[in-house]
Structure 1
Amino acid sequence: MNAHQNILALFVVCSVVLIVHTLSKWRQKLSFGGLIVYTLFVLYKTVFSRKRGFYSVNLDLGWSYKAMLNGVPGMFSQIYLNIMFFIPVGIFIEGFLLKKYKGRYILSIVYGVMLTVIVECLQLLFHRGTFELDDILNNTIGTIIGILITLKINMCRGKNNGRS
């Protein structure tokens, strides 16, 4: 799959996520199911679909941003795709938790961080990629953006429901 196909697939996933999120009656159940399916998709795409043999560790936090600023080709796309890849995680987890838990925002971020740490560890364990702190940072940013999108949707929905 090339970058354009990845972006198109991500757009489709985000669209489905947002449509599911607007269906308030089924939102929590669909969000839970979506979270499970998307988590499995993330694990497949980032670990199990890759060929065995390449692995390394990069603990230099911010290296990809430095490389992007220095004009290294493909760095912007790598950062952008890592962020975009986890936006659905933030949307799904927020849709599932709704207003059940006081610390739901922290719990949502923790889920995103844990998922990305698991991915990075599995890549290292199965020799299928690089364990990178930048990936953890970028995926966490994506999760937070997903949470913020959900909050904005809920605020708009609350305003519209108040006018009815």
Structure 2
Amino acid sequence: MSFKRNKRIRFLGKILFVLYIAFIIYFLIFSDWYGRTGEMEEYHYNLVLFKEIKRFWNYRDQVGMFAMFTNLFGNVIIFMPFGFFMPMASRYRSFFSTVFYSFGLSLCVETFQLITKVGSFDVDDLLLNTIGGLAGYVMFVVCAAVRRRYVNRKKDCYRRR
């Protein structure tokens, strides 16, 4: 693949990454979903790992499947683009960098929610968001391997001619 094409792909990755960060900040902090319409009177937080995950799973019939799905899988899904675009847009492409930055962004969001009393601080969200970032990174690695294989096959075809 040519240098110019690599540069264009990297630039596109940076643009998508910035758009994703803007979206995630809006969605997780300012969106009207899940009680974020106004400031709460008191702090809500969970510092016990797996407490909210177990609660949503055990009471899935009472809270509804949609609420259970959005809490458990939504927190994973919303951070998958971060894990995908971060290595595409930056020089830090390692597994550990992705885990570190996914956890860091999630911690910033959760802390902001706690301080502003918009939403709640939940260690389960930290775990699920980090898992989502990691899943996005795995998707990036698979896509990069498929792209490299395609490019190498294309080069081999031109060499044989």
Given the two structures, how large is their TM-score scaled by the length of structure 1?
0.76
Which 4+ residue blocks in structure 1 deviate beyond 3 angstroms?
A: none
1:66 aligns with 2:54: yes
The structure number with the bigger radius of gyration is: 2
The aligned residue for residue 76 of structure 2 is: 83
Q: Counterparts of 1:1-164 in structure 2 under 5 Å? A: 24-49=6-31, 50-54=36-40, 55-72=43-60, 73=63, 74-97=67-90, 100-101=91-92, 104-164=94-154
Offset at residue 27 of structure 1 (A): 2.0
How far, CA to CA, are the matches of 1:61 and 1:126 in structure 2?
22
Q: CA RMSD in A?
A: 1.9
How far, CA to CA, are the matches of 1:105 and 1:159 in structure 2?
21
The aligned residue for residue 159 of structure 2 is: none
Partner SS for 2:44: strand
Q: Which runs of 5+ in 1 are unaligned?
A: 1-22
Instruction: Report percent identity of matched pairs.
Output: 29
Offset at residue 104 of structure 1 (A): 2.8
The aligned residue for residue 157 of structure 2 is: none
How far, CA to CA, are the matches of 2:145 and 2:22 in structure 1?
30
The aligned residue for residue 19 of structure 1 is: none
The 8 Å contact of residues 67 and 75 in structure 1, kept in 2 or not, is answered as no
The aligned residue for residue 158 of structure 2 is: none
How far, CA to CA, are the matches of 1:85 and 1:34 in structure 2?
14
How far, CA to CA, are the matches of 2:144 and 2:99 in structure 1?
18
- Size of the aligned set, in residue pairs, is 139
